[in-house]
């Protein structure tokens, strides 16, 4: 059984100060994909992960204190892909992929469109990423894309779908893109086994949103459909508090 987590930690240095290392040791995933690390590798101590038995890989943005992704894994990868080879994407440190013997895992931090100047950037990224993944899947049949997609898929995935209908993250165009992405051959591993409402992975820091569970489910572990029969458990760890997001997980038997 392989335990894979995804977690937007909203700053690796801040998360470490809040007990992330101790939680990681206790939780003990085989692989954890991190987003929004907000640090270059010379700004924090990676040896703490090695002491826990992890191989650690990081892909930072050119802009300091911004974006960035990482993957910690107890399974040694065969190949590491830093970025995707598209300059405007890679400058922001949003994609990191590891190839293992019979599957690949990508950590993705899809842009937010909450700033109107960035909404066009987000849509371009989404379109180019869709095309890119279609190419990747020609050679990688077992692909898991873990990360912060900054999109709620359905009304069940957001606390107030009516009032948020014109807010980036729940725009019709964004939801349609995620729908097409899933229908192209991916499974939302959480919804594959869990149909209950009020299951969220991000809460605003404002208005006591987390305590009142006024959240959004914008973090996903999407897997190639042919892995469906191997999905044994999927979950949201909403009692973990190092970030405005919480970890999500899937246990896969390969």
- The residues assigned a catalytic role are 148
| Angstrom distances, CA of residue 193 to CA of 2, 153, 244 | 17, 16, 24
Alpha-carbon gap, residue 81 to 195, rounded angstroms: 34
In whole angstroms, give the CA distance from residue 204 to residue 8. 14
Residues paired with 8 in a beta bridge: 35
SS3 24: helix
Answer whether 31's CB lies under 8 Å from 254's CB.
Answer: no
Pairing of strands 231-236, 219-224: unpaired
Name the one residue in this structure whose structure tokens are 């049949």. 141
β-partners of residue 35 are 8, 69
Tokens 């992975």, residue? 201
Alpha helices in 19-68 (DSSP H): 20-27, 47-51
| Alpha helices in 55-158, H assignment, sequence order | 87-90, 116-136
Q: Give the tokens for residue 50.
A: 């090695």
């Amino acid at each position: 059984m392989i335990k894979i987590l995804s977690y937007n930690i909203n700053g690796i240095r801040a998360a470490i100060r809040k007990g992330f290392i101790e939680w990681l040791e206790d939780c003990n995933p085989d692989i954890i994909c991190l987003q929004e690390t907000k640090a270059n590798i010379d700004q924090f101590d990676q040896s703490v992960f090695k002491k826990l038995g992890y191989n650690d890989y990081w892909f930072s943005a050119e802009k300091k204190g911004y974006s960035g992704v990482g993957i910690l894994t107890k399974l040694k990868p065969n190949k590491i892909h830093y970025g995707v080879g598209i300059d405007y994407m890679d400058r922001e440190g949003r994609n990191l992929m590891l190839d293992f013997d019979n599957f690949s895992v990508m950590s993705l931090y899809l842009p937010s469109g909450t700033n109107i100047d960035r909404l066009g950037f987000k849509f371009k990224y989404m379109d180019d990423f869709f095309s890119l993944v279609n190419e990747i899947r020609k050679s990688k049949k077992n692909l898991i894309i873990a990360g912060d997609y900054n999109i709620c898929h359905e009304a069940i995935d957001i606390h107030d779908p009516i009032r948020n209908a014109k807010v980036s993250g729940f725009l019709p165009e964004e939801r349609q893109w995620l729908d097409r992405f899933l229908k192209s051959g991916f499974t939302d591993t959480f919804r594959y086994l869990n149909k209950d409402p009020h299951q969220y992975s991000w809460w605003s820091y404002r208005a006591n949103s987390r305590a009142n569970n006024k959240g959004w489910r914008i973090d996903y572990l999407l897997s190639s459909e042919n892995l469906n029969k191997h999905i044994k458990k999927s979950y949201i760890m909403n009692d973990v508090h190092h970030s405005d997001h919480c970890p999500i997980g899937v246990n896969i038997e390969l």
